[in-house]
Amino acid sequence: MVRLNVNGAVREVEAEPDTPLLWVLREQVGLTGTKYGCGIAQCGACTVHLDGAAVRSCSLPLSALTAEQKIVTIEGLSAHADHPVQKAWAALDVPQCGFCQSGMIMASAALLAQNPHPSESEIRAEITNICRCGTYNRVLAGIQLAAEGGQGGRG
Amino acid sequence: MRFDMDIPAAPSPAPSPAHSPGRSAPVQASRRAFLAGAAAAAGGFSLGFHLPGPAAAAAPAVPEVNAWVVVRPDETVVIRIARSEMGQGTLTGLAQLAAEELGCDWARVTTEYPTPGQNLARGRVWGDFSTGGSRGIRESHEIVRKGGAAARMMLIEAAAQGWSVPASACRAEKGVITHAESGRTTTYGAVAERAATLAPPKEVVLKDPKDWTIAGQPLKRLDTAPKLDGSQVYGMDLTLPGMLNAAIRDCPVTGGTVKSFEAGAVAGMPGVKRVVQVGETGVAVIADTFWRAKTALDALPIVWDEGPNAEVSSASIAAVLREGLDAPEAYIGNKAGDVAGALQGADRVVEAVYSVPFQNHATMEPMNATARWTPERCEVWTPTQNGEAALAATAEAAGLSAAKCEVYKIHLGGGFGRRGATHDWVRQAVLIAREMPGTPVKLIWTREEDMTHGRYHPITQCRMRAALDAKGDLTGLHMRISGQSILAAIMPQRMVNGRDPVTFQGLNPSGPEATLGYTIPNILVDHAMRNPHIIPGFWRGVNMNPNAIYLECFMDELAHAAGQDPLAFRRKLMANHPKHRAVLDAVADRIGWSTKPPEGIARGIAQMMGFGSYVAAAAEVSVSPDGKLKIHRIVAATDPGYALNPQQIDAQIAGSFVYGLSAALHGACTVKDGRIEQTNFDSYPVMRLDEMPAVETIVMPSGGFWGGVGEPTIAVAAPAVLNAVFAATGKRVRNLPLANTDLRRA
- Per-residue pLDDT for B55 more than 50? no
Q: CA distances (Å), B209 to each of B77, B152, B213, B216, B641, in order?
A: 22, 17, 9, 8, 11
What is the structure's pLDDT at B61?
77
Put the strands of the sheet holding A70-72 in their side by side order. Answer: A9-13, A2-6, A70-72, A47-50, A53-56
Rounded CA-CA distance B525/B547 in Å is: 11
A144 in a structural domain: yes
DSSP one-letter code for B125: T
Tell me the CATH number at A141: 1.10.150.120
What is the structure's pLDDT at B4?
29
Rounded CA-CA distance A105/B119 in Å is: 37
Q: Tell me which of A127, A132, A135, A143 to substitute to probe the interface with B (most B C-beta atoms closer than 10 Å).
A: A132
- Taking only the tens place, the pLDDT of each residue in A40-84 is 999 999 999 999 999 999 999 999 999 999 999 999 999 999 999
Put the strands of the sheet holding B460-468 in their side by side order. Answer: B331-336, B522-529, B474-483, B460-468, B348-356
Task: Say yes or no: domain B29-225 is CATH 3.30.70.100.
Answer: no
Cβ neighbours for B316, distance < 8 A, ≥ 6 positions apart = none
Rounded CA-CA distance B579/A16 in Å is: 62
Instruction: Report whether the peptide linkage leading into residue B26 is cis, meaning its omega lies within 30 degrees of zero.
Output: no
Q: Tell me which of A133, A137, A140 to substitute to probe the interface with B (most B C-beta atoms closer than 10 Å).
A: A133
- Inter-chain residue contact B690 with A36, CB threshold 8 Å: no
Q: Which of B311, B276, B278, B316 is nearest to B296 (CA)?
A: B276
- Inter-chain residue contact B27 with A19, CB threshold 8 Å: no
What is the structure's pLDDT at A150?
53
List every span in chain B annotated with CATH 3.30.365.10.
29-225, 235-307+367-444, 314-359+456-740
ipTM of the complex: 0.97
Q: What percent of chain B has pLDDT over 70?
A: 92
Q: In terms of pLDDT, which residue wins out, B102 or A148? A: B102
Q: What percent of chain B has pLDDT over 90?
A: 90
Size of interface A-B (CB pairs under 8 A): 196
A positions 107-126 inside 8 Å of B (CB): 123-125
- Per-residue pLDDT for B28 more than 70? no
Co-location of A120 and A100 in the same domain: yes
Co-location of A26 and A66 in the same domain: yes
Q: Which residue of A has its CA nearest to B681?
A: A42
Co-location of A26 and A63 in the same domain: yes
Rounded CA-CA distance B413/B237 in Å is: 11
- Taking only the tens place, the pLDDT of each residue in B7-17 is 233 333 332 33
What is the structure's pLDDT at B537?
98
What is the structure's pLDDT at B406?
98
Q: Tell me which of B31, B227, B446 to substitute to probe the interface with A (most A C-beta atoms closer than 10 Å).
A: B227
AA identity, residue A120? E
How many structural domains are present in chain A? 2
What is the band of B150 on the pLDDT scale with cuts at 50, 70, 90?
A: very high
**DSSP secondary structure letters along B162-194:** HHTS-GGGEEEETTEEEETTTTEEEEHHHHHHH
Q: What is the average pLDDT across B322-329?
A: 98
Instruction: Identify the domain boundary among A76, A95, A128.
Output: A76
- Per-residue pLDDT for B611 more than 60? yes
- Inter-chain residue contact A40 with B688, CB threshold 8 Å: no
What is the structure's pLDDT at A149?
80
- Taking only the tens place, the pLDDT of each residue in B152-190 is 999 999 999 999 999 999 999 999 999 999 999 999 999
Topology of domain B235-307+367-444, per CATH?
Aldehyde Oxidoreductase; domain 4 (3.30.365)
Residue ranges making up the domain that contains A126: 84-148
Q: Model pTM?
A: 0.93
Rounded CA-CA distance B460/B209 in Å is: 41
- Taking only the tens place, the pLDDT of each residue in B226-259 is 999 999 999 999 999 999 999 999 999 999 999 9
**pLDDT < 70 regions, chain A:** 150-155
- Taking only the tens place, the pLDDT of each residue in B563-581 is 999 999 999 999 999 999 9
Q: Where are the beta strands (DSSP E) in A36-144?
A: 47-50, 53-56, 70-72
Co-location of A111 and A71 in the same domain: no
Rounded CA-CA distance B463/B299 in Å is: 47
Co-location of A95 and A61 in the same domain: no
User: By the CB < 8 Å criterion, does B651 face chain A?
Assistant: yes
In chain B, residues with a C-beta closer than 8 Å to the C-beta of A71 are none
Topology of domain B314-359+456-740, per CATH?
Aldehyde Oxidoreductase; domain 4 (3.30.365)
User: By the CB < 8 Å criterion, does A23 face chain B?
Assistant: yes
AA identity, residue A121? S
User: By the CB < 8 Å criterion, does A77 face chain B?
Assistant: yes
